[in-house]
Amino acid sequence: MIELSDAARVTAGIVVLSVVAIESGGAFLVAVVTGRAPATAFQTSFYRAGHAHAGVLVILGLVCLLLAGATALTGFWWWLAATGVLVSAVVLPAGFFLSALGAGRERPNRAVVLLPVGAVVLAAGLVALGVGLLTA
Band of residue 114 on the pLDDT scale cut at 50, 70, 90: very high
Rounded to 5 degrees, φ, ψ at 108 are -70, 150
Band of residue 3 on the pLDDT scale cut at 50, 70, 90: confident
pTM: 0.93
Per-residue pLDDT at 102 exceeds 90: yes
pLDDT, tens digit (0-9, with 9 covering 90-100), for 18-45: 999 999 999 999 999 999 999 999 999 9
Cβ(78)–Cβ(68) under 8 Å?
A: yes
